[in-house]
């Protein structure tokens, strides 16, 4: 059986782990740069606050209902996510981490599902502080629906199973076809034109006609809804194709020096992530853009790619090329809103394609240096050691004025007991 385990309102739940005063209080978490709402506690959902709404539009509501507002704290969320996944890994080695707060598990058939799932749920809550909902069914697509039902059925207590045909049929008749995993808005529209509005109607549709009209992916969804598993667990995630780090600036950046600082910072973050994945990059792209929403300002966006002489994940080397790329696209007289770095043509770092003029000793020294830097930064917090080109003042850096402490990843931000 497939189980889909999904953390409830994950980011807001993370905020509550180290701040239990927030239990029962309305909370929102904001996007990078404190722009939009990206996570809502149930209390906020009940107030009708929509996902993605710009925060300034709900200021009166925030005042009126004392909504607690947090900047996103990805260090904390990422770390708690790993703890949740590690806890789930105690129940089965067959686990596919699907997103920061969702995982598919393959579970053996048990006598008492309710009891077993509540045990998993209680263990995750006890070990990590994060509440989760669990849906179980014979296919991934049905497990997704079961998870949705676990969250929305009042007396389900966060677990729901779709094991037998009768239950599946009864519940699928109440699920809109647009809520089925993999059915986008366009497909939902087309299905509606053919009289298919519920998940049950899709399950009972002629799969060959669906295949003819919409392709094999849609046919698979039909079969999955019938309980025939077509989507296996992906135990090894497919290798990454690219690594992008891109941010909006706190205020418009106009000078070449500031833009370069920002791009050097993003490059070193991307390089560190690449090393974490044991990959090296063959191509580096830098891109910059102005704010297209400010109509009376001159607009400009551009990008430059450099094919690296030897694929690498060395921060200094990547910064060197990123600076060169920045110089080719920087134009004076614009107010830049956003910039980023994209590393592509990624290959495992065990594959070495050497260049005739490459200095092997130097490459080995750089590898060791990167290892030392990564170890220090892992132990003492990110950016404890960093390149000076990434800037000291960093006025451009986005604001995160109401970020909670990074309780689990920074020594100087540990929870205090007084
Ligand atoms: Mg979730």
Per-residue tens of pLDDT for the chain, all 418 residues:
999 999 999 999 999 999 999 999 999 999 877 789 999 999 999 999 999 999 999 999 999 999 999 999 988 999 999 999 999 999 999 999 999 999 999 999 899 999 999 999 999 999 999 999 999 999 999 999 999 999 999 899 999 999 999 999 999 999 999 999 999 899 999 999 999 999 999 999 999 999 999 999 999 999 999 999 999 998 877 778 899 999 888 889 999 999 999 999 999 999 999 999 999 999 999 999 999 888 899 999 999 999 999 999 999 999 999 999 999 999 999 999 999 999 999 999 887 667 777 788 888 899 999 999 999 998 887 889 999 999 988 888 877 778 899 899 888 888 888 7
Whole-angstrom Cα distance, residue 23 to residue 21? 6
Q: Rounded to the nearest whole angstrom, what is the distance from the C-alpha of residue 197 to the centroid of ligand 1?
A: 25
User: Measured in angstroms, how far is the CA atom of residue 134 from the centroid of ligand 1?
Assistant: 11
Question: SS3 string of 271-293?
Answer: HHHHHHCCEEEEEEEEEEEECCC
Q: How far is the CA of 14 from the centre of ligand 1 (A)?
A: 11
Centre of ligand 1 from the C-alpha of residue 73, in Å = 16
Ligand 1: centre distance to CA 22 (Å): 18
What CA–CA distance (Å, rounded) separates 102 from 147? 10
CA 321 to chain centre: 28
Quote the ligand 1 centre to 80 CA distance (angstroms): 13
Rounded to whole angstroms, the Cα distance separating 10 from 101 reads 6
Tell me how far the alpha carbon of residue 263 lies from the centroid of ligand 1, in angstroms: 32
* pLDDT at residue 133, as a whole number: 98
- Ligand 1 center to 151 CA (angstroms): 10
Say what the pLDDT of residue 395 is.
84
* pLDDT at site 293: 85
The DSSP code for 374 is H
Q: How far is the CA of 145 from the centre of ligand 1 (A)?
A: 13
Query: If you measure from the C-alpha of residue 10 to the centroid of ligand 1, how many angstroms do you get, rounded to a whole number?
Result: 5
How many CB atoms are located within 10 Å of the residue 220 CB?
20
**For residue 311, how far is its CA from the centre of ligand 1 (angstroms)?**
37
Say how many Å lie between the first and final Cα of the chain, rounded: 47
CA 156 to ligand 1 centroid distance, Å: 17
**Distance of CA 295 to CAs 290, 298, 300, 302, 334, Å?**
11, 8, 12, 18, 13
Dist. CA 170 → ligand 1 center (Å): 25
H/E segment holding residue 245? strand 243-253
CA–centroid distance, residue 242 to ligand 1 (Å) = 25
Determine the distance separating the centroid of ligand 1 and the alpha carbon of 5, expressed in angstroms.
9
Output the pLDDT for position 181.
95
Instruction: Tell me what percent of the residues of the chain surpass a pLDDT of 70.
Output: 100
**What is the C-alpha to C-alpha distance for residues 85 and 207, in angstroms, rounded to an integer?**
35
pLDDT value for 3: 97
Q: How far is the CA of 100 from the centre of ligand 1 (A)?
A: 8
User: E strands of 325-366, at which residues?
Assistant: 336-348
How many angstroms separate the alpha carbon of residue 213 from the centre of ligand 1? 33
Q: What three-state secondary structure class fits 380? A: helix
pLDDT of residue 411: 83
Listed in sequence order, the residues at least 6 apart from 304 whose beta carbon sits closer than 8 Å to its beta carbon are: 285, 286, 287, 325, 326, 328, 329
Ligand 1 centroid to Cα of residue 175, in Å, is 19
Tell me, in angstroms, the distance from the centre of ligand 1 to residue 39's CA.
9
Ligand 1 center to residue 227 CA distance, Å?
A: 24
What per-residue confidence (pLDDT) applies to 344? 95
Q: What pLDDT is recorded for position 113?
A: 95
pTM: 0.80
How far, in Å, from the CA of 318 to the mean position of ligand 1?
Answer: 35
Give, to the nearest 10 degrees, the angle between helix 140-152 and helix 216-225: 60
Distance 76 CA to ligand 1 centre (A): 16
Tokens of 53: 């709404």
b/e burial code for range 345-367 (CB count within 10 A of at least 16 → b): ebeebeeeeeeeeeeeeeeeebe
């Amino acid at each position: 059986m497939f189980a889909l385990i999904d953390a409830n309102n994950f980011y807001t739940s993370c905020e509550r782990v180290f701040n239990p005063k927030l239990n029962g209080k309305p909370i929102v978490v904001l996007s990078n740069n404190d722009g939009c709402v990206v996570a809502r506690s149930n209390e906020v959902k009940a107030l009708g606050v929509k996902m993605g709404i710009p925060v300034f539009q709900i200021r009166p509501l925030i005042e009126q209902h004392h909504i607690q507002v947090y900047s996103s704290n990805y260090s904390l969320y990422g770390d708690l996510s790993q703890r949740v996944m590690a806890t789930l890994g105690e129940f089965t080695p067959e686990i596919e981490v699907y997103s920061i707060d969702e995982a598919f598990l393959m579970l053996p058939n048990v006598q008492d599902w309710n009891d077993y799932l509540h045990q998993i749920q209680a263990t995750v809550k006890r070990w990590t502080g994060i509440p989760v909902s669990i849906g179980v069914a014979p296919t991934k697509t049905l497990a997704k629906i079961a998870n949705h039902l676990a969250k929305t059925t009042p007396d389900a207590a966060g677990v729901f199973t779709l094991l037998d045909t009768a239950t599946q049929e009864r519940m699928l008749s109440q699920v809109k076809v647009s809520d089925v995993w993999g059915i986008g808005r366009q497909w939902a529209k087309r299905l509606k034109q053919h009289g298919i509005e519920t998940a049950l109607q899709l399950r009972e549709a002629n799969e060959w006609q669906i295949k003819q009209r919409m392709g094999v992916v849609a046919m698979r969804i039909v079969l999955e809804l019938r309980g025939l598993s077509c989507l296996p667990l992906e135990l090894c995630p497919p290798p990454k194709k690219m690594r992008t780090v891109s941010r909006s600036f706190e205020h418009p950046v106009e000078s070449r020096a500031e833009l370069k600082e920002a791009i050097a910072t993003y490059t070193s973050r991307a390089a560190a992530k690449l090393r974490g994945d044991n990959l090296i990059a063959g191509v580096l792209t830098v891109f910059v853009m102005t704010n297209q929403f400010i109509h009376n300002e001159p607009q400009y966006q551009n990008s430059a790619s450099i094919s690296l002489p030897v694929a690498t994940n060395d921060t200094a080397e990547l910064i060197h090329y990123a600076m060169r790329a920045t110089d080719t696209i920087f134009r004076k007289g614009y107010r830049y809103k956003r910039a980023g770095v994209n590393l592509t043509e990624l290959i495992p770092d065990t594959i070495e394609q050497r260049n005739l003029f490459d200095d092997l000793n130097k490459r080995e020294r750089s590898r060791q240096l990167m290892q030392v830097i990564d170890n220090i930064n892992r132990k003492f917090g990110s950016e404890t050691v960093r390149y000076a080109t990434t800037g000291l003042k960093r006025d451009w850096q986005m604001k995160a004025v109401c970020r909670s402490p990074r309780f689990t990843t920074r020594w100087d931000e540990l929870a205090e007991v007084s």
